[in-house]
């Protein structure tokens, strides 16, 4: 994220909230509250911005990790994106693929999970980055941005980014 921020590639109309959450020094019974405070700070810092990009170390949480677990800071939990979606912001999540199942099935299962939190008229989609460890950019567009972000994703994977990205946009 730091290199993206410093490069200016995304322009000046973007706010970076580069505050990590850690559980190393927090007692297990206080971890949920600390996470809530972190999310509230992120929510306040991104007010007025149209797109919120989450870059958790590993992506969305697997079912084996709960918010109070020591591993939780490496993940974003699906319910945590709801306030941003309710504010009609588009959300993009950087997500590493797991080791269970095919990448395609993992992406489709994750999109189904995200659809539960998206407004009924919105259709999440994903781009698979295939260089190195497989990962996906999961996108839950606001209704206002859905057509624009979807068409840009299509152009991107069929254009100059076809090498590192799989030439498919996965849709829910």
pLDDT tens-digit profile of 146-171? 998 888 888 888 877 767 788 788 88
Q: What pLDDT, in 10s, does the model give residues 42-88? A: 999 999 988 888 888 888 988 889 888 888 889 999 999 999 999 99
Q: What is the pLDDT of residues 13-39, one digit of tens each?
A: 566 677 778 767 788 788 889 889 999
- How many angstroms separate the CA atoms of 159 and 49, rounded? 27
Q: Which of 4-13, 17-26, 32-41, 121-130 has the lowest mean pLDDT?
A: 4-13
Integer Cα distance of 139 and 147 in angstroms? 12
User: What's the rounded mean pLDDT across residues 107-125?
Assistant: 91
């Amino acid at each position: 994220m730091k290199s993206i921020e410093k490069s200016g590639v995304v322009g000046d109309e973007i706010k970076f909230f580069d505050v990590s959450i850690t559980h190393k020094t927090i007692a297990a019974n206080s971890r949920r509250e600390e996470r809530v405070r972190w999310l509230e700070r992120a929510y306040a810092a991104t007010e007025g911005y149209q797109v919120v990009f989450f870059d958790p170390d590993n992506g969305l949480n697997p079912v084996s990790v709960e918010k109070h677990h020591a591993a939780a800071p490496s993940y974003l939990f699906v319910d945590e994106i709801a306030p941003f979606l309710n504010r009609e912001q588009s959300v993009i999540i950087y997500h590493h693929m797991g080791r269970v199942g095919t990448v395609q099935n993992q992406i489709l299962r994750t999109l189904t999970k995200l659809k539960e939190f998206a407004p009924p008229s919105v259709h999440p989609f994903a781009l698979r980055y295939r260089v190195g460890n497989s990962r996906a950019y999961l996108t839950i567009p606001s209704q206002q941005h859905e057509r624009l972000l979807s068409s840009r994703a299509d152009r991107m994977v069929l254009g100059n980014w076809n090498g590192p990205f799989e030439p498919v946009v996965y849709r829910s």
